[in-house]
């Protein structure tokens, strides 16, 4: 079956076989409205201002959002904004998803993409998709004339971020179409502002707090017929190994996890000026296992010990040479001498980093170093920068193992641990003296830290 999409500018056919059934009403709404077609009730739901697609991993919601953006750009002259908390994450998420759809559908002749600036242009209709991140919030104000916004992982945004965007994107465009905001995300904590703002208390999983302005669609991996069977099996395994993670990751439901290892971390707007800092690096081993580089510094004020953490890199599938290229981009030249504490599982990569001029040091390990390192971390107040979206996501999922009876074990679940491992490696190797020394003399602590860095 195909659906024929026609405008006065372009005439193409896209088969519905390449679109998951759950998302077809959105596609019909996008193309049918532009063609002036009579829409079904299911499609008309997608003409509201706020469109939320949420659920489990592998549900295909990001691909569906990219497909909708491509169809919208083909059916008229529209300005689209691709939005995330951190601008640098857009290239590997929304921007790439749209490129993948364009290529899969054989539409390359209609689209031109650029990296600097990160933009997608439809040459036949004049539609343009621009990229905006809240870590460059001054650029958000330039979105007033945008017709359609796609926010990937909207739960990364703070409530203040959301208010700024929502008040910027208002009213209708010159063609009389609602300016819309599409949000895609995987839910975690039911206390999040997204849950409170858009979802009705109790009742249906998809029931919106305001049905007049909001459409909500919940999907899981069962709604994605293109999903790899191996990945589907891994998602299903969580049902037996960790029911809580299964509820969040596989079923995509709002759930407050039990047994979180760091439930009380805080987020801060910026990384503060500190006397010294270190880097921690957990190596990625595959296309799905990311390399995680974190910047870590400590502040001691009397008996209060605070740790400040900033995400420098989180990227899968990097070869040793590609990793070093990323380090060159993300570590300032003035920091090249700063110790980078690395997972000792990759000694050859550590040697390559040293040859490239980095002060790469294998972090300490022992029979109980994971548990001891976590206990050391728990003695600090953890402060994570708002832009460290992957660290925040992993801390929200990093939890203790349980036995079959539900009893907590002194060992973390071996998932969502890339950033926590990198942070722990720094603290266990370089900052343990801050919490082990009996006197809390900040001067003595600074001297101790400096000696570790030089060692």
**Per the domain annotation, does 238 fall within a domain?**
no
**Per the domain annotation, does 51 fall within a domain?**
yes
One domain for residues 13 and 88: yes
Q: How many domains does the chain have?
A: 2
Q: Which one is predicted more confidently, 190 or 435?
A: 190
pLDDT on residue 284: 82
Q: Decide if pLDDT at 228 tops 80.
A: yes
Q: Domain range for residue 209?
A: 2-223
Among residues of the chain, what percentage have pLDDT more than 90? 64
**How many Å from the N-terminal Cα to the C-terminal Cα in the chain?**
67
One domain for residues 412 and 306: yes
Q: For 49-83, what is each residue's pLDDT tens digit? A: 999 999 999 999 999 999 999 999 999 899 999 99
**Per the domain annotation, does 122 fall within a domain?**
yes
Among residues of the chain, what percentage have pLDDT more than 70? 89
**Per the domain annotation, does 232 fall within a domain?**
no
3-state secondary structure the chain: CEEEEECCCCEEEEEHHHCCHHHHHHHHHHHHHHHCCCCCHHHHHHHCCEEEEEECCCCCHHHHHHHHHHHHHHCCCCEEEEEECCHHHCHHHHHHHHHHHHHHCCCHHHEEEECCCCEEEECCCCCEEEEEEHHHHHHHHHHCCCCEEEEECHHHCCHHHHHHHHHHCCCECCCCCECEEEEEECCCCCCCHHHHHHECCCCCCCCECCCCCEEEEEECHHHCCCCCHHHHHHHHHHHHHCHHHHHHHHCCCCCCCCCECCCCCEEECCCCCCCCCEEEEECCCECCEEEEEEEEEEEEECCEEEEEEEEEEEEECCCHHHHHHHHHHHCCHHHCCCEEEECCCCHHHHHHHHHCCCEEEECCCCCCHHHHHHHHHCCCEEEEECCCHHHHHHHCCCEEEECCCCCEEEEECCCCCHHHHHHHHHHHHHHCHHHHCCCCCHHHHHHHHHHHHHC
One domain for residues 151 and 278: no
Q: Which one is predicted more confidently, 32 or 322?
A: 322
pLDDT on residue 33: 53
Residue 250 CA to residue 327 CA, distance in Å, equals 33
One domain for residues 108 and 202: yes
Q: What's the pLDDT band for 241 if we cut at 50, 70, 90?
A: confident
Residue 425 CA to residue 293 CA, distance in Å, equals 11
pLDDT on residue 38: 61
User: Which residue in this structure is represented by tokens 């819309």?
Assistant: 180
* Final residue belonging to a domain, choices 223, 258, 277: 223
Q: How much is the pTM?
A: 0.81
One domain for residues 216 and 281: no
pLDDT on residue 405: 79
* Final residue belonging to a domain, choices 223, 246, 277: 223
**Per the domain annotation, does 230 fall within a domain?**
no
One domain for residues 196 and 334: no
One domain for residues 186 and 288: no
One domain for residues 51 and 177: yes
Q: Decide if pLDDT at 358 tops 70.
A: yes
CATH number of the domain enclosing 107: 3.40.50.300
* Final residue belonging to a domain, choices 205, 223, 241: 223
Q: Decide if pLDDT at 7 tops 50.
A: no
Q: For 112-153, what is each residue's pLDDT tens digit? A: 999 999 999 999 999 999 999 988 766 676 787 899 999 999
One domain for residues 331 and 213: no
Across residues 214-235, what is the average pLDDT?
A: 92
**Per the domain annotation, does 54 fall within a domain?**
yes
One domain for residues 214 and 270: no
Q: Decide if pLDDT at 42 tops 80.
A: yes
Q: For 388-422, what is each residue's pLDDT tens digit? A: 999 999 999 999 988 877 788 889 998 899 999 99
Please provide the average confidence, as pLDDT, over all residues in the chain.
87
CATH number of the domain enclosing 403: 3.30.420.280
Residue 200 CA to residue 178 CA, distance in Å, equals 23
**Per the domain annotation, does 250 fall within a domain?**
no
**Per the domain annotation, does 255 fall within a domain?**
no
One domain for residues 215 and 300: no
Q: Decide if pLDDT at 37 tops 60.
A: no
Q: Decide if pLDDT at 175 tops 90.
A: no
One domain for residues 36 and 175: yes
């Amino acid at each position: 079956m195909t659906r024929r999409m026609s405008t006065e500018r372009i005439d193409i056919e896209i088969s519905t076989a390449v679109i998951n059934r759950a998302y077809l009403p959105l596609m019909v709404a996008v193309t049918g409205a532009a063609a002036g077609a009579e829409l079904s009730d299911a499609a008309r739901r997608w003409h509201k201002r706020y469109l939320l697609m949420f659920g489990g991993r592998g549900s295909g919601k990001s691909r569906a959002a990219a497909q909708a953006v491509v169809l919208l750009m083909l059916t008229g002259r529209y300005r689209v904004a691709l939005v995330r908390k951190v601008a640098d994450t857009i290239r590997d998420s929304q921007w790439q998803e749209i490129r993948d759809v364009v290529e899969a559908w054989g539409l390359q002749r209609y689209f031109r993409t650029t990296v600097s600036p990160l933009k997608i242009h439809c040459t036949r209709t004049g539609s343009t998709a621009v990229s905006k991140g809240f870590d460059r919030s001054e650029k958000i104000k330039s979105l007033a004339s945008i017709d359609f916004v796609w926010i990937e992982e909207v739960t990364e945004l703070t409530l203040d971020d959301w208010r700024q965007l929502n008040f910027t994107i208002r009213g209708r465009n010159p063609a009389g179409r609602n300016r819309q905001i599409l949000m895609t995300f995987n839910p975690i904590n039911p206390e999040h502002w997204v849950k409170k703002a858009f979802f009705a208390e109790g009742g249906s999983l998809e029931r919106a707090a305001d049905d007049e302005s909001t459409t909500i669609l919940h999907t899981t991996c069962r709604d994605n017929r293109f999903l790899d069977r191996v990945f589907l099996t891994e998602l299903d395994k969580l049902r037996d190994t960790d029911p809580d993670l299964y509820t969040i990751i596989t079923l995509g439901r709002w759930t407050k996890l039990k047994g979180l290892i760091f439930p009380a971390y805080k987020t801060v707007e910026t990384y503060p000026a500190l006397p010294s800092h270190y880097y921690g690096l957990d190596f990625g081993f595959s296309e799905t296992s990311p390399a995680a580089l974190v910047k870590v510094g400590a502040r001691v004020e009397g008996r209060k010990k605070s740790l400040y953490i900033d995400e420098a890199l989180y990227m899968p599938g990097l070869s040793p040479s590609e990793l070093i290229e990323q380090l060159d981009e993300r570590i300032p030249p003035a920091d090249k001498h700063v110790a980078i504490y690395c997972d000792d599982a990759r000694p050859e990569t550590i040697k390559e980093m040293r040859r490239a001029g980095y002060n790469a040091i294998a972090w300490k390990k022992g029979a109980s170093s994971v548990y001891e390192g976590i206990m050391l971390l728990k003695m600090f107040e953890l402060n994570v920068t708002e832009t460290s979206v992957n660290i925040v996501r992993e801390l929200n999922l990093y939890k203790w193992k349980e036995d079959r009876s539900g009893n907590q074990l002194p060992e973390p679940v071996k998932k969502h641990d890339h950033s926590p491992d990198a942070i722990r490696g720094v603290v266990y190797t370089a900052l343990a003296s801050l919490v082990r020394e009996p006197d809390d003399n900040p001067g003595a602590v600074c001297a101790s830290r400096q000696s570790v860095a030089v060692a």
